[in-house]
Chains A and B, each alone.
Chain A
Amino acid sequence: MEVSSTALVLEGVCYAYEEAPREAVSDISLTIGEGEWVGVTGPTNAGKSTLCLLAMGLAPHFFGGRLKGKVTVLAKDSRSVSVIERSSEVGLLFQNPFTQVSGARERVDEEVAFGPECHGVARPEVDARVEEAMGLAGITHLAARHPMELSGGQLQRLALAGLLAMRPRLLLLDEPTSQLDPAGTAAIFQVLDGLHRRGTTIVMVEHRLETLCEVCPRVVAMVAGRVIADGAPEEVFNIEKVQERVGMPVFTRLARARALPRPWPVRLRDAASAFAKSIA
C-alpha cells in the first residue's frame, strides 16, 4: 500500500456552486491524517456536505462551480483525479440514502456489487466483497429484496454496504445513522469503529452532538462556510462562539445552566461525575 500520512488536506479552499450568489465554503484550511476519525458539525448551510463533495471530487468535477485553493486527497490533487478514479479509494455516503442507490439494480446484493463491478473487479472477488459488506452493514437477510422496497433505515445500511464493498481508505459519511434506531445506530458505529481500527480514515458529518462527542476524537465546527473550531470535543464545545452558533451537547448545556465549574462535560460519563461532585 502506498504510504501517505495525510488523507485529506484543504489549503485556502473556497468553493461556490454554479450560479450561486455566495461561496458554500470560504477559506478553509484543514489537515486530516490517515487513520483519523473526525466529526464535522455546524448549523444548516455551514458547508458540511460541500466539504464532503469537495473531498470526493464531485465538487467541482460533477457540480461545476468555482474552486479556489487546493484539495489534496490521499496525496493527489483533486483537480487531476476523476471521480471514477477517486471512488476506488474514497467513499461518500450521501445525507439522503434515497439518492445513493443506483436505481439500475433490482436486488440488494446486486446493488452492493454495482461499485466493484463498475471498477472491473473480478467476479469471485466481487462476490466475496458483497458478502462481507452486507454482513458488516447487517443487510445479509435483505439480499434478494428490491432496493426501492426498503425502509429508510434499511436503505441507509444498503448505501453503506455499497461503499464498504469498494474497500475505501477514506470514508466520507454525511449523517450515516440519521434514519436508524438505537440498535441500528450502535451496530453501524461498531462497524465504523472496526474500520477505524484497521486504519480507515473517517470524516463524518453529524448533527447529534452527543453522538459526535461519544465517537469522534476530533471535531471540526463549521459556520457559514468557515471552520470556527477544530480540536477535541471537550475543547470545541467549551468555546463560547461554538456554543452560541453551533450548539452543544445536552450535558454541556445542563452543566452551563447549573453553573458547574469549567470545563463543562460533553459526554454522559463525564457529566455524571461532574454533577455528582456538585451535589456532594
Chain B
Amino acid sequence: MPEVRLDGVRFAYPGGVEVYPEPGLTLALGDGVTALVGENGAGKTTLTKLLIGLLRPNQGSVTVAGVDVASATVAEMARIVGYSFQNPDDQLFERTVKAEVSFGPRVLGKPAEDVERGVAWALKACGLQGKEEVHPHDLGLSERKWVAIASALAGEPKVVVLDEPTLGQDYPSRERLRMLAAQLADLGRAVLVVTHDMDFVGESCPTTVVLSHGVVRYAGATEKAFADRSMVDDAGIQPPHVTALARSLGMSESVSEAAFLAAIRW
C-alpha cells in the first residue's frame, strides 16, 4: 500500500497561479527513498507542504500513511511526517541542539523514553553527538541543516520529507546522508528527498519523480529516469555527472559510480 497518495490535487497560492493544472496532481509513493526533482517553480516544495497539511489542496485529496490529511491537524500530521525545511533558519528556534531536536516529540506528548530513544538515534545518525548543548545558531549552515534533519527524525515518523538536504554539504556529509536514507528505507520508512543534486539522486534514491510545471513527467526507477532525454531537457533537469560520462563513452546509462565502474569492467 502506498504511504503517500495524491489524487487530483489542485492548489493555488492566494492571488497566484495554479501550481498543479487540470486535471490535478496524481501520484502514489511507497516506502524507500524517492527523489522529487524538477526546475525551480515546478511545485516540489508545495507538494511537501501538502503532505504535512501546512497547505491544503483546493481540490482533490492527500493521504499519508492511511490518514486523510484533510481531516487531520498539522500536529496530527507531524506524528506521521517528519519535515526538514529547505532553510534551517525557518525551523530552528531552541537554545540548544538537544532541545531543538527533542522539541517535536516532546510537544507531541510522546512518552519520555520514546523521546529519549528517538532523539539519541537522530543525533547519532546526523553526526551531532557531542554538540547537544551547543546553540544551533553557533553552528554553520551545514550543521544547522543537520539539526533540522535530526529534528525531523527524532519523532520516528513513518514518512520523512527532506527539502534540499545536500545544500551546503561537503562530501563526507553527503555520504552520511546517503547512508541515513538507506537506513531509514531499511526501517520501512518512506523518505522523500526534494533536490537539485542529481549526483545524490543517482547514488541514494532508487525511485525518482520528475515534476515540471506541476505535472508528473516521470515516476519510477531512477536508473531509467534519465534515459528519456527529451523529457529530461524539457523538465529542466540534468543527468548525474556519471551518467553524462557514460553517455559520452557510448555506454549504457549508469546513474551511480558503482554501476559505472561495474559496466566499464565488462
Contacts and interface: CB of A to CB of B under 8 A. Distances in A.
B86 A44 contact: no
Contacts of B140: 44-45, 49
Contact of A182 (B45, B143, B237): B237
Contacts of A254: 242, 245, 257, 260-261
Contacts of A257: 257, 261
B87 interface: yes
A246 B39 CA distance: 29
Contact of A151 (B41, B167, B173): B41
A247 B245 CA distance: 19
Contact of A207 (B90, B143, B164, B170): B170
Contact of B245 (A95, A99, A183, A275): A275
B241 interface: yes
A51 B237 CA distance: 32
A3 interface: no
A152 B142 contact: no
Interface string B164-178: 100111111100000
A96 B89 contact: yes
Interface residues of B, number: 37
Nearest to A151: B40
B244 A268 contact: yes
Nearest to B257: A254
A84 interface: no
Nearest to B245: A271
B141 interface: yes
A98 B172 CA distance: 26
A178 B142 CA distance: 12
Interface in B179-201: 196, 199
A180 B40 contact: yes
A181 interface: yes
B8 interface: no
B249 A279 contact: yes
Nearest to B86: A152
Nearest to B143: A44
Contact of A247 (B38, B170, B244, B261): B170
B171 A268 contact: no
Contacts of B90: 98
17 contacts: A42-B170, A44-B169, A44-B170, A45-B140, A96-B87, A98-B90, A175-B168, A178-B168, A179-B164, A184-B39, A207-B170, A210-B241, A254-B242, A254-B257, A254-B261, A275-B245, A279-B249
Interface of A: 42-45, 49, 95-96, 98-99, 151-154, 175, 178-184, 207, 210, 246-247, 249-251, 253-254, 257-258, 268-269, 271-272, 275-276, 279
Given A45-B140, A250-B199, A272-B248, 20 more contacts: A42-B170, A43-B171, A44-B173, A96-B89, A98-B90, A151-B40, A152-B164, A154-B40, A179-B86, A181-B38, A181-B40, A181-B196, A182-B39, A183-B236, A207-B169, A246-B170, A250-B241, A250-B242, A254-B261, A257-B257
Interface of B: 38-41, 45, 86-87, 89-90, 140-143, 164, 167-173, 196, 199, 236-238, 240-242, 244-245, 248-249, 257, 260-261, 264
